[in-house]
Amino acid sequence: MKNTSRKNTAAIVLTLIWITAFICCACGKSDDDSPSSSVIQDSRPKADSISNTDAGASGSSPQKGAPVTQSAGETGTDALGLRFLCADDGENGCSDSNGYYYLNYDDIKLSDGSYGSHLMYMDYASCREIFLCSTPGCNHDSPDCTAVLPSREFPPFSTKLFLFQDHLYALCCQADAVVSLSAQSASGEDSSFMSGNDTIDHRAGVLYRMNPDGTGREKVYEFASGLTIEGTLAIDHNGLYVITKKLSSEKTETGSYTSASEESLMYLNLSSFEAQTLCSLDFGDNISWKVTGCAGGAILLRGTDYGRKLTTEEYNDNGQFKVYFQNSHEVFALLDPSTGSLREFYRISNARLLSTAVMNDTLYISIEGGDDIIGVNPTTGEQWTVASLPQTYIWDTLEDVLCCSSWNAGQDYTFYFVNVKTGEAFHSGLVNKSLGWRLEFKAETGRDVLVIYDYEAAPSALNDGGYEITREIYGLISREDLFAGKDNYREIQMSGKGY
């Protein structure tokens, strides 16, 4: 079950903002305007030929070998189709114009005693969720089932799904974690991602490819042993951009910490599966750069400039780190992947909290306590006021729309949708039906948005003000109804828990 708390959620969000200057990116929204995009046709097999425990209204399952629309978080593109794919945020879903794929987080025990997670698919036409399996009578509890991804190969919280041309891909990354004692995972299995004696298991990142219906799964590339692959990805018409780094553990008087070194940008051709390192991300400026988007044919990086390099102890001193952070600057730059050259185009003080998003070749930024959302052209440096309103915290993005909310996370859970082309703002009173929390936007398809709009939940047995969420309720809603606050959801008939 999923345990969550309204109060704890707000506190966690603000903590993340202080530490990492939280970035809003919408992983898994479809990019139907991409030049290389195409659409699954209606010749796909129907759900009555799919083995699922939840029989009901017929729906479609992706056809083997059928062309699919690429998924994307935002749509900065150039002649090569360079665009941001997803952030390293724990999300593990992707979508095309016909449906939404995701890997659930539950570690289930399989028939052979091992553990795995389910690969699920939500079909938009039938509003039905299915296990990604077409074997009649399958119980989806065997490693041979196409809907089962073994946990040792596909860790749920660090596996990224994405669609490219006519295949579904799964990039299995190693989590950035280190522990001081040998441990076991919650499933009872020895965890390959935890090791004793303050060492890190340098298990190689692996890329798998399969047909859109889950069949034909194969390992197509394995990264060098010792390299950790971040879950932040960009893609163009030919291949994948990934960040690689080496992790090491460090002991101090206050504990053991993981540190990264030799961060590099790597390119993997998805036809030949040949890889090359494009450039180092160490530019000698003592800034730890992270990919946050694409714009103007370049990769958009973000980093925090403290004026000097902080020590590990300073990073992990919670009280003192807040002072360092408030005296730092947030810096944004464009990286030319063909030359490895870096050009800073914007910086702003971290004295107050910031929220940002990258969409349509533009950086959008707001400051706590301010009433303006600012747009910045990364190529020219031009700045302008996109909109003015009190609710300027950028929580998420939809096509041409910033999904904004109040900076006071515990009082107002509604959204204020800002059209970046017109500057118009629309207030929607829609919230999660059961708990009154924010809606969660998972994907877009044409004029509709896939939303988690309700939960099956009960108060937590811990009596901590939280809830035990046993199922997330998904539905499709038109953009018009969403912006107008009309709860005309078309509920997805669920087979799983939704997470």
Contacts of 474 (CB under 8 A, 6+ apart): 122, 129, 442, 450, 451, 452, 453, 491, 492, 494, 498
Asked whether the beta carbons of 113 and 107 are under 8 A apart, the reply is no
DSSP letter at 274 equals -
Domain limits, the chain: 31-376
What pLDDT does 254 receive?
64
Contact 223, 246 (CB under 8 A): no
Tokens of 426: 């629309």
What pLDDT does 374 receive? 98
Structure confidence at residue 362 (pLDDT):
98
| Token pair in block for residue 182 | 């040998």
Across the strands, what pairs with 471? 456
Residue for token pair 């065997």: 142
Which token pair is 48?
A: 């009555």
- Give mean pLDDT in consecutive 10-residue pieces for the chain, a chain of 499 residues: 42 36 38 31 32 38 41 48 88 93 91 95 97 95 96 89 96 56 34 39 82 97 88 94 83 66 93 96 93 95 95 86 95 96 97 96 97 97 97 97 92 95 97 96 95 94 87 97 98 93
* CA atoms of 373 and 389, how far apart (whole Å): 8
Selection from 419, 379, 346 nearest residue 76 by Cα: 379
Which amino acid would we find at residue 19? I
Please enumerate in sequence order all residues whose Cβ is within 8 A of that of 142, keeping only pairs 6 or more positions apart, or say none.
Answer: 110, 111, 112, 148
| Amino acid 107: pLDDT | 86
Alpha carbon 175 to chain centroid distance? 14
Q: What Å distances lie between residue 59 and 39, 62, 113, CA to CA?
A: 17, 10, 32
Q: How far apart are CA 455 and CA 435, in angstroms?
A: 8
**CB neighbour list of residue 432: distance below 8 Å, 6 or more residues apart:** 413, 438, 439, 452, 453, 454, 455
- Note the pLDDT of residue 46: 35
State the pLDDT at residue 256: 67
